[in-house]
Amino acid sequence: MDLAGHLNHKVFHIISTIAHQEGIQAFVIGGFVRDLLLTGYDTPPKDIDIVVLGSGIEMAERVRQSINEEVPLTVFKNFGTAMLKWEDTEIEFVGARKESYRKNSRKPLVEDGSLEDDQNRRDFTINALAISLNQDSYGQLLDPFGGLKHLEEKLITTPLDPGQTFSDDPLRMLRGIRFATRLDFLIEPDTFEAIGHHRERIGIVSQERITDELNKIMLTRQPGKGFTLLDKTGLLEIIFPELYQMKGVEEVEGQFHKDNFLHTLKVLDNIAMKTDDLWLRWAALMHDIAKPRTKKFEPGTGWTFHGHEFLGSKMIPGIFRNLKLPLNEKMKYVQKLVQLHLRPIVLSQDIVTDSAVRRLIFDAGNDLEDLMTLCEADITSKNEKTVKRHMRNFHVVREKIDEIEEKDSIRNFQPPISGDDIQYVFGIPPSRPVGIIKNAIKEAILDGEITNEFESAYRKMLEEGRELGLIVQNKLKKRGD
Ligand code: ATP
Ligand code: MG
């Protein structure tokens, strides 16, 4: 197969010329070749992997000299690799190598090798495809393991024995599941079985690498498939036990509850159609995470999961810590969505009162839109009528939110009277009564008892102060007057 006409990136000719001058061989290999063949040659590459029969670092330096502009070069001496960043593309150079592995590490012993040796060490046949950049064979596809056929058959399989491949570097198990998910490929049965067989080996992979793969799975078009594969290979139980525990249905007195794992994956796939936001997707994956722990069968009522949104929100920091996800505002965001995920549903089932909507706007703040997206994704009924009814109800809630937002400014609520104001008016130091009055004003506004304005809040303050036995010492003017 001649792909010369498709090697559009300007770096390929530069490499080819240098390889010719130096009398060494160079190839483009891996993900670039796979995606080139898969996507009909039209997506610009984000990264390009070059393998040379010689020093990858020297080749990278020569390429950089030939480019008539400043391009940053990063050299990883220990790994014998170098990376050029040219415009938006990362171009990685490595010398062809042969690898051998030890039992307790995914870091191989490395020696110089041939192109075949280098293709052998690749994780999947579709990732072992190479294209020659040498002048006499420029553009020729080198496909020793039938990678091209596997691309056509939509098959993930390893160049060498799958058991050996996964045992050597167990990260490949997750990469395989990630590729199967992203490309919507099948994992070839022996390969699949080998993952199951070697699943415990995942223990030698660092949590950062595991989570990096989980995030990549999360960002695919249908992440639910990835988690199904993780479950079927037995990996899920090891790397994400809280999610694994959501599996299954129980029956009491002929009543079943739904399988919360399957439901969750459906919600995740639903939300993936609406948003690319990684954290909103994580919130969807974890919104019911506490259902197994709150599950109860109550005779007469059936299955209940009381408080699962609160307990779920409490479980998030522990899960984030274990997964080495960031313990920052992203985590707080996920916690908040998990905690609030039932609120719009409750609203949509009741008569929607202004004050309930106001409280929701207040509690969700700027994440209200995301919360509504999550709630809509949470509708997974197979009954189309039910789905339509829920969607209609949510539509009413959304309209009500817009209406109230126009009237009151509850989002990013700033109290019209501050603690300082209260201290000044009653001539008191920072103390409990100040908090009580502040809170009473906020509650009154949220309940719609008073408007979100200075005058009415002022009156409320005086009223509350009187009840607490405070006496007005100073008059306060409206700010800005
Ligand atoms: P993408 O960049 O789209 O995620 P990719 O296949 O390019 O996919 P990279 O991580 O960029 O993946 O790696 C580039 C190439 O290096 C792969 O195509 C594969 O040939 C090889 N490779 C990467 N990681 C491994 C691994 N753990 N074991 C064996 N080969 C690997
Ligand atoms: Mg890549």
- Give the closest residue to 72 by CA, choosing from 87, 91, 85: 85
178 lines ligand 1 (CB under 6 A): no
In this prediction, the residues of the chain whose per-residue pLDDT falls under 70 are: 41, 350, 479-481
Q: Phi, psi at residue 108, to the nearest 5°?
A: -80, 160
Burial of 69 (0-12, 13-18, 19+ CB in 10 A): exposed
3-state class percentages of the chain: helix first, strand second, coil last, to nearest 5: 55, 10, 35
All structural domains of the chain, each given as residue ranges with its CATH number in brackets, are 4-153 (3.30.460.10), 156-239 (1.10.110.30), 419-467 (no CATH)
The predicted pLDDT at position 103 comes to 83
The predicted pLDDT at position 45 comes to 82
Task: Please report, for residues 39, 158, 377, the alpha-carbon distance to residue 245 in angstroms, rounded to integers and kept in the order given.
Answer: 38, 31, 22
Give, for ligand 1, the residue of 118, 122, 168, 202 to mutate: max count of ligand atoms closer than 8 Å to Cβ. 122
Cα separation, 137 vs 443, whole angstroms: 76
- Residue whose Cα lies nearest atom 25 of ligand 1: it is 123
How many angstroms does the Cα of residue 84 sit away from the middle of ligand 2?
A: 14
What is the tens place of the pLDDT at every residue in 70-90?
999 999 998 899 999 999 899
Cα separation, 21 vs 53, whole angstroms: 14
Structure tokens at 208: 């950062």
99 lines ligand 1 (CB under 6 A): no
What is the tens place of the pLDDT at every residue in 417-432?
999 999 999 999 999 9
How many angstroms does the Cα of residue 465 sit away from the middle of ligand 2?
A: 66
The predicted pLDDT at position 41 comes to 65
The predicted pLDDT at position 345 comes to 84
The predicted pLDDT at position 346 comes to 79
The predicted pLDDT at position 281 comes to 98
Burial of 125 (0-12, 13-18, 19+ CB in 10 A): buried
The predicted pLDDT at position 184 comes to 97
In contact, 46 and 61? CB cutoff 8 Å: no
Question: Which-ligand-closest: CA of 30?
Answer: 1
The predicted pLDDT at position 149 comes to 98
- Residue whose Cα lies nearest atom 3 of ligand 1: it is 31
408 lines ligand 1 (CB under 6 A): no
421 lines ligand 1 (CB under 6 A): no
31 lines ligand 1 (CB under 6 A): yes
Q: Amino acid identity of 344? A: P
Task: Please report, for residues 52, 177, 209, the alpha-carbon distance to residue 324 in angstroms, rounded to integers and kept in the order given.
Answer: 36, 20, 10
Cα separation, 139 vs 8, whole angstroms: 11
The predicted pLDDT at position 354 comes to 86
Q: Phi, psi at residue 96, to the nearest 5°?
A: -55, 140
The predicted pLDDT at position 39 comes to 85
Question: Which-ligand-closest: CA of 176?
Answer: 1
